[in-house]
Chains A and B, each alone.
Chain A
Amino acid sequence: MEILRNLWRRKVRTILTVSGIVMGIFALTTMGSLAEHFNVLLGGGITYYGGSIQVTDDRSSGSFGAGAMSLTTLGEIQDVNGVRAAGPNVSLTAKPGSVSAVNFGVPDYIMNYDKTTTDNSPFKISLASGSFPSASSRFEVTLGSTFAAEFKKHVGDTIYLPVRPTDATADFVNHPFKVIGVLGQTLTAPDNGAYVSLHDAQMLLGESLPAALRASVNPYQLITGVVVYGKPGANLDTLATRITAEVSGVKATKPSVMVSSFKSGGAIFTFMTTAAALLALIIGGLSVVNTMIMSVSERTREIGLKKAIGAKTRNILSEFVAESTVMGLLGGIIGFLLGVLMTWLLNSGDPSGGLFLITPRLTLIALIFAIALGAGAGVLPAMRAARMDPVTALRAQ
């Protein structure tokens, strides 16, 4: 209580100081929540891609938007020594031709639901409601949580896939799909997926091909990739090299390459959070130091009195550090709440669920950082106070 009273003695100064910390923690919270969102997203990618091998046509460069390859390749891959399971992958964009100026996340996509792949994957997805499409199902879809929220779809609703772009060409085709399930939120790629049977995914893939090609290919023999799982103990990088060498026309990406690519992406966001933290440190820290130095100067006689009546060095030190810590805590709480409010406002305006994720970890980091900032910045002025000679302090004007 006395701490708050002391801080309130100089209202304007305290408010300005706390405002400095508020700004810093606000920046840390918003930047941090952005980083948390991407770290979860990338973490899911690391789990998924780190435990499997993505095999694509050797002319394509990755998983999403990969070029088509023959379904017969799947059998050849399954025969490679060290392969435990391999599942077909057919993926295509759910919003063809959509113009997205900036997309920080995974774009909405349509993919076949393959039980082999799901069962073997270290990245587990679960249903919030309904069921997954079976191999024989037609025009049925299970939506990722973000996909479902974006289009406000629930089990039993109908959604047209792919989503018709506003500037759709005359030959654009889409179909009504019955929503039979919605996935639980994963905060990563599956949230943006629409899962259909292999047959339906191949049909949609065929329809997405250029008109000149459609007549010449059988879409039900096309896949965009194969997901491979190795036998227990198998080195997946070695297995990827073996698949590329033994199966012609395909390229198996080493999991370690995928993982390091995700990690380097994560480093950017870690840098952003660190930069925000530094900003908080500089703005908040300096204002606390300044305020506490002034406070110590103004309260010299009080320090002298306390020392005279028996306060030890550590008593004075802890009293002043407690004051600066309270300023840090106040600034931390207000800055964090403002950050939460801001991210909530930004997320609520984003149909895909938003880019900001407040996690318990971020909450702890923001508050502990604010407290440590206040305490740390208060130590130097507090030491100055604690070391004062009582007689000199008592005689101060």
Chain B
Amino acid sequence: MATIQTLGLSKTYGKGESTVKALDGVNVTIEQGEFVAIVGRSGSGKTTMLDCMGLLMRPTSGVITLDGIDARTLNDRQRAELRSRHIGFIFQEFNLLPTMTAMENILLPLRYSGGDRKAARTRAEGFLEEVGLAQRARHRPTQMSGGEQQRIAIARSLINEPTLVLGDEPMGEVDTDTANALLGFMRRINAERGVTFVIVTHDLDLAARTDRVIRLRDGHVISDGRPSAQAAPQAAA
């Protein structure tokens, strides 16, 4: 079963003359276990597409299904429920809570999903070990570098064992070496656990190391395929 399927997905902002079509009839199917990059210029609609896939935003029209569930049938509470159990999020600016330690940040999603806290703690310790931050569990975000914070954020996105992880410019705030390390970690999770990753990025080098690149322009999919088959990198900003 496809993890995500969109049919005629459209999103319009504003009214009247100031109307902006961020997405215009997007049809995409992403299978379980794929590692997908969405690329495009600023304003091409990639973040809007990610928000719709993450059930953070309702499209103006069209259908989006997650694991076979038609998102149109879900109310806000059900969407929140689905997000907490099946979707992990990684953001460009990490969005770690400054009052919490690294471990507490990783475990935050448990508060809303109600999962087994003890098992989650063991998983969190495993993640911290994997990303080389076992000694930083009790540190606050302000005591960590950008790369370390993003590793914590990735661990947080995985703590509920989601089937899908959505990343909005997850390597946008870190240097190249750190970006490579983070990508390596995500790819390993993708390969070992079959978690689907969809990341929005400007970095075409990074996109080239994914399984599939979806290129957007003005709300339309202009190409969709393996990175090697993609057109020249001028499409990205």
Q: Check A309 against B77 for contact (C-beta < 8 Å).
A: no
Binds A, one of B91-99, B130-138, B178-186: B91-99
Say yes or no: is B111 at the interface (Cβ < 8 Å to chain A): yes
Closest CB in chain A relative to B11 CB, distance in Å: 11
Q: Name the contact of A315 in the complex, choosing from B76, B98, B104, B112 (C-beta under 8 A).
A: B112
Shortest A309–chain B CB gap in Å is 5
Residues from chain A with a CB closer than 8 A to the CB of B85 are 310
Across the interface, A6 reaches (CB within 8 A) one of B77, B91, B99, B156, namely B99
Looking across the interface, which residue of chain A has its beta carbon closest to that of B86? A310
Taking a contact as CB atoms closer than 8 A, the residue among A301, A310, A312, A391 that contacts B57 in the complex is: A391
**Could you say which of A2, A306, A311, A390 contacts B99, with CB atoms under 8 Å apart?**
A2
Q: Is the CB of B112 within 8 A of A309?
A: yes
Q: Is the interface of B mostly helix, strand, loop or mixed?
A: helix
Residue of B nearest to A314 (CB): B77
How distant is B232 from chain A, measured CB to nearest CB, in Å?
A: 30
Q: Is A254 an interface residue (CB 8 A)?
A: no
Kindly supply a per-residue 1/0 record for chain B positions 75-87, scoring 1 wherever the CB is within 8 Å of any chain A CB and 0 otherwise.
0110011011100
Residue on A nearest B109 in the bound complex, by CB: A309
B113 lies within 8 A of chain A by Cβ: yes
Interface: A272 (CB within 8 A)? no
* A302 partner residues in chain B, CB cutoff 8 A: 95, 97
Per-residue interface assignment for chain A, residues 126 to 144, with 1 indicating a CB less than 8 Å from any chain B CB and 0 otherwise: 0000000000000000000
Q: How far is the CB of A179 from chain B (nearest CB, A)?
A: 64
Q: Determine if A9 and B109 form an interchain contact, defined as CB atoms under 8 angstroms apart.
A: no
- Kindly list chain A residues whose C-beta atoms are within 8 Å of the C-beta of B104: 2
Q: Is there contact, CB below 8 Å, between B84 and A310?
A: yes
Q: Which of A301, A305, A311 has the most CB of B within 10 A?
A: A305
For residue B100, CB closer than 8 A to chain A, the reply is: yes
Q: How many residues of A contact B (CB 8 A)?
A: 20
Main DSSP-derived SS at the A contact region: helix
Complex contacts, A307 vs chain B, CB 8 Å: 56, 80
Contact A312 B77 (CB under 8 A): yes
Identify the closest chain A residue to B57 (Cβ).
Answer: A391
For A2, the chain B residues whose CB sits under 8 A away are 99-100, 104
Contact for A391 among B56, B113, B156, CB less than 8 A:
B56
A311 to B56, CA, bound (A): 12
B54 close to A (CB within 8 Å): yes
Q: A308 on the interface (CB 8 Å rule)?
A: yes
Residues on B with C-beta less than 8 A from A315 are 111-112
Q: Which residue of A lies closest to B83 (CB)?
A: A310
Query: Which residue of A is nearest B104, CB measured?
Result: A2
- Assuming the contacts A301-B95, A305-B95, A310-B81, asked whether A390 and B111 have C-beta atoms less than 8 A apart, the reply is no
Q: Does B89 contact A (CB under 8 A)?
A: yes
Name the distance in Å between A317's Cβ and chain B's nearest Cβ: 13
Is the beta-carbon distance between A391 and B112 smaller than 8 angstroms?
no
Check B77–A310 contact: CB distance below 8 A: no
Q: Say if the beta carbon of A313 comes within 8 Å of chain B.
A: yes
Contact A309/B99 with A315-B112, A391-B51, A391-B56 known, Cβ cut-off 8 Å: no
B63 within 8 A of A: no
Most buried by B among A304, A309, A311, A313: A309
In the complex, residue of chain A having the shortest beta-carbon distance to the beta carbon of B166: A308
Interface string of A376-397 (1 = CB under 8 A from B): 0000000000000011001000
Chain A residues near B51: list those with CB within 8 A. Answer: 391
Q: Do residues A308 and B112 form an inter-chain contact, with CB atoms below 8 A?
A: no
**A9: contacting residue among B57, B88, B99, CB under 8 A:** B99
Q: In the complex, A309→B156 CA distance in Å?
A: 9
The answer to whether A311 and B112 touch (CB under 8 A), given A2-B100, A391-B51, is yes
Which residues from chain A contact B80 at a C-beta distance below 8 Å? 307, 310-312
* Residues in chain A near residue B77, CB distance under 8 A: 312-313
A2 to chain B, nearest CB (A): 6
Interface assignment of A5: CB less than 8 Å from any CB of chain B: yes
In whole angstroms, how far apart are the Cα atoms of A280 and B95 in the complex? 38
Complex alpha-carbon distance, A247 and B233, angstroms = 117
Q: How far is the CA of A6 from the CA of B100 in the complex (A)?
A: 9
Instruction: Check A309–B56 contact: CB distance below 8 A.
Output: no
**A5:B112 contact, CB within 8 angstroms:** no
Q: Among B54, B112, B156, which residue has its beta carbon within 8 angstroms of that of A312?
A: B112
Asked whether any CB of chain A lies closer than 8 Å to the CB of B28, the reply is no
Q: Which 7 A-B pairs have the closest CB atoms?
A: A310-B84, A310-B112, A5-B99, A305-B95, A309-B109, A312-B80, A310-B83
Q: Enumerate 11 A-B pairs (CB-CB under 8 Å) in ascending A order.
A: A6-B99, A9-B98, A305-B91, A308-B83, A309-B108, A309-B109, A310-B80, A310-B113, A390-B56, A391-B51, A394-B91
Which residues does A use to contact B, with CB under 8 Å? Answer: 2, 5-6, 9, 301-302, 304-313, 315, 390-391, 394
Given A305-B95, A307-B56, A312-B80, output 15 extra A-B contacts at Cβ < 8 Å: A2-B104, A5-B99, A9-B99, A301-B95, A302-B97, A305-B89, A305-B91, A308-B54, A308-B56, A308-B83, A309-B83, A309-B88, A310-B83, A310-B113, A391-B51
Binding site for A on B (CB under 8 A): 51, 54, 56-57, 76-77, 80-81, 83-85, 88-89, 91, 95, 97-100, 104, 108-109, 111-113, 156
